[in-house]
Every structure is written in structure tokens, then in C-alpha cells.
Structure 1
Amino acid sequence: MNKKKRNKLARREWLAGICFLLPNFLGFLIFTALPVVMGFYISLTDYSGFGKMNFVGFSNYVKMFKDSSFLIALQNNLVYTLTTVPLTLIFSLLLALMLNRKLYGGHIFQTLFFFPNLTSMVAIGCVWLQIFESKNGPVNQLLRNIGISDVPKWFWGTSTALFTIVIVVVWKQVGYYMIMFMGGLKNINPELYEAAKIDGANAWKAFLHITWPMLSPTTFMVTILTFIASFQVFDIINVTTEGGPGRSTQVLVMRIYQEAFKYGRMGYGSAIGYFLFMIIFIITAIQWYGQRKWVVE
């Protein structure tokens, strides 16, 4: 094949590659890149969804830190994150360790624990509203039967609503991350445990010096995913408490939804959205940098 034919074939291959990439690139440009740019511009205006956009600079971002509703939502979101992330890690790892052993009916238990993850959060919220119903719900009925008269109000109590949501979310997502930890456990060489046993290491020492270090890549990934998900929580709160009672379950995404679509303050809602993006980006970047020190390759 001469040089001219090779060049012609290379151009055809290049054109074919462009044609395959073009639909995906256009989709990314229209539905992702352009909305991101427009959203940032809107955050610098007083746009209400109708009429003109008046440029106001960074006044929306300054306004956030003077807004008590935003500060409460940020505080609630931090509390929610600091509870759901470690609880999900602990319970998903414990389930993975338990089911990684050769147990009778182990696959059935794996399916049962994973099944909630296949159900929509809206349906789960409706079910748990009935389970935790403060007057006649089965949980409080059980507590009364065992002699507890002052039962929790769960979703309807200002001091319990947020932690009730944490319980429901951890219950739903723990099965998914259990599967990830089980995948990590399968990749650990069994010879390491045999060598540790010969050296006299008990189960706890084997976990500390073999299992936990070898699971560090999986732990890192689960931490990143649960952290991002915790700052994006919305559906379960919208279904169960709608941010109440009071402002006890207000979170940042709920504030974005209310400001932008309920109150018609698109500019201010967009500013909160970009602040949320910066939180996720900065903490994720810190985690990526820090993983060099504790993640075993």
C-alpha cells in the first residue's frame, strides 16, 4: 500500500471516529456543558424564571452566609454526612465480612440485603412513614408493649427527624456497598491469612494487618461515593418531612429546590448549587490527595 492510500485510509478512520464520537459530544455539550455555564451565569443575576436577568455579581453568594435558612441547611447537611458515611461503611463492611464466609443460604441473604437498593426512594419513604408513624406505627407499638411510654416521634420530632432519615438511608444503601466490599474481599490472597495463622495471629490481628489494609482501595471508593451521595440527598426528605418539622431536616439540595422552583429565586438557588459543587469538589480533591498515604496499591 502506497503512502497516498495509507493517508486516505487514515482520514477515513479519523472521520469514522469523529462520527462515532459526535453524538455523545453533542449530548455532553447541550445537556451538560452548556447548562453548567448558564447555571453559573444565572447565579450572578437576580433571575426569577421570568423576565430579564439583571447582573448582580457575587451578591447571591454573599447573601448565603447571611441567610439563617441556608446556614441551618448547611449544618444539617454536615451532620447528615458525618453520620451516614461512617455508618454505611461500618455496616456494609460487617455484612460483607459475615457473608464472605461459607454460610448456608449465603446467596439468599446477599439478595435480601441488596434488594432495598433496587427499590425507589419514594416508595421506601412512603413505607417507612407508616413503619415509624408516631401514634399507631408498628415500631412505637412494639416499644409501648415492652414498657416504653415516652416513644420517639421519629419523622415528626425536631430532635429525631434527621436521624430517622439517616436510619432509612443507611438501611437502603448498605446492601449496595456490601457488594463492593465483598468484591474487595474476594481479591485478597488466601495465602496471606494462612501465613498469618502460622505466625500465631488471631482473627482480629488478621483483620487489622491484612483485611483492612487490602480493602483500603474499596474503602476509599465507598467513602467517596457515600460522601457525594450524602450531599445530594433530597428525595427521601422531600417524601417524608419536606424539610421539617421546623427546619430540622433542611439540607442544601432542598434549599436549592425551594429557592429556585418554589420561591422563584433562580439566581440565588443557582448560587447555592455552585456552593454545593465547590464543597463536594474540594473535599473530594482532599480525599484523592490523602489516599496516597493510606490506600494500599
Structure 2
Amino acid sequence: MQFRNIYMTGLVLIGCITLFLLYVQLFYSPLLYITGDTVVRRADWERVSHMYGNMMTRQEEFLKQRSLEDVVLHYAKQQQIIVNDEAVKAQMNQLGSNKTERIKQLKSLGMTEEESYQNIYRAMTGFQVKQQLTKHITVSEQEIQSVYQQNIEAFSVPELRTIKYIHIKNLQNKHELDRYFLSIESFKDAYEIVQHPSIQKGLQELVSIAQLQGELSKPIATYMFQAPENQLIGPIQDIEGQIWFYVEAVQKPQILPLPTVKAKIHSTILLEKQTAFFQKWLKTQKKVQHYKIFPGNLKRHQLISFWFDLPHHVMLLL
């Protein structure tokens, strides 16, 4: 009798373990992150991950982005920062003037209207939170002048030229075109009239020598930047044929004055200060909300994830 009881107990135990393993295999969804009162599991993430991109190598990055969004949304909920429904719909209407157009546009993006609404709502809420948190941040005249002086080279503009050219490549009987290269006027006629597969015509407007070297060979670009203005130059021989050109305009090198770039410097400094403040605030909020993220559970087997998650489940119950 005692053996039978032990045998039956063993069978029950094996059955329970089997059922437990089956449950974990079929139904358990591993934890991915916890913040505030938000608990997100792998199944939750799989429903929304396509909105962040399908690159499997960046799934951890996208997951972290989503989790930090939820940190901000949790704070917004606590502070009763609410985005107006009409404002969200106004943004959605930019995808199309009617529902049919929006659905068509969203289909090409692999999203539904509801998903688009939630995406826009999350983005607008995050923007409102950031605006509220950083509204006290200002930029002084001294900061603007300091950045301008310390980065003066960044505001220098090199010599820029507008150059029109004709490149004759491997064309037989080139002498037939000689009449077009007697003057700038005849060159202009050729530029407008002559059409041939072996003739490449180009107009580079207010380009630097570095930009021109990206279009033509370095020796040719250098030659064009040494040539006088409004003078027909050519033929210049290169490995593909001959080039004729003239310089239409020259803009001398200059350093942009502070008043010209002041607004840009102001916006750059302001953005940097706001971003730094927001990142510091976000770090604090993660502690306040007991933020935890488990990117390893994206790939772990459910059974391993279950035991890994167990302490966190216990903490959630306390």
C-alpha cells in the first residue's frame, strides 16, 4: 500500500510538472520591461514592434525607446498632462483628407489608424512633457557670442563659383564643334543647342572646390577655380576627352557675421541644454518609477525566462 501511495504521488508530481512546463511553453510571455504601473511582456511588444521597424538587429534599441516613452507617459498621467483628441486627429489628417486616403497611406507604412493615433498621441504627449519641463531654460547673449567665437571656422564660407561647362567625350570629328568655342556667346549657343550622347553639359551653381571635385576630376576642378571670371577656357584635355568652360560668377570667401547666424546658434544651444536637462530628468524618473528592462527576454526560451522573471513577479505582488 505504501509503495502504491508513493507511486501515485510520483505520477501526480510528474503530471503537475508536465502541465507546468506545457503552460509555460504555450502561455507564458516573458517580461520585457516594468515602469511605474506599466508591465510589458513579449506578447505586448510583438503587437507593436512593427511600428518601430523590422530590423531584428535593432530590436533591443527599439524596445528601449518604447520603454522610455512609457516612462514619460507615466509621468504625464500623474501630472494630468493630456493631449487634446482634436490635435491628434489634426495630425492624422495630414496623412490624407479622408479616411480612405489615410488607410491607404497607413497600409503602405504597415500600420492601422488606431496604431497611427497611438503613435501620434505618444509623440505629442512626450513633446508636451519636454516643453513643460524645459520651459525655464534660456540662452544668454554671452553664450551665443562664446559659441560664435569658439567655432568661428564653422561659420566661414569658402570661395564659391558658378561654372558652366561642356565635356566632349570620345567624339570623332571634334573640329565640327570648333565654331561653338570662339566666344562665350557661341559657347552659350552650344550649351543650349548641341545634343549628342558623347557630349556632357554641366552647370555647377555656387559650388566650393571640394564639391566640384566630387563631380569632376581634382585637376580639372582646381583649374576651374584658378580661371578668371567671364572668360571662355578650353580645350582642356582629360582622360575622357576635352572640356570647355567659363566662370559665370565668383563669390569670395567670407565669415558669416554674427547677426546672420545668431538665430541658428540660439536654437542649437537651446536644444542642447533642453536635451541635457531632459536626459538628466529621465534618469531620475527611471529611479522614481522603479524602471527595469530585460532585453535578454526577447530571445530567451519561455522556461528560462520564467525563472529569470520570478523574482520580479514576486516584487510586483508586494
Q: TM-score, normalised by structure 1?
A: 0.29
User: Who wins on radius of gyration, i.e. which is larger?
Assistant: 2
Taking structure 2 as the reference length, the TM-score comes to 0.28
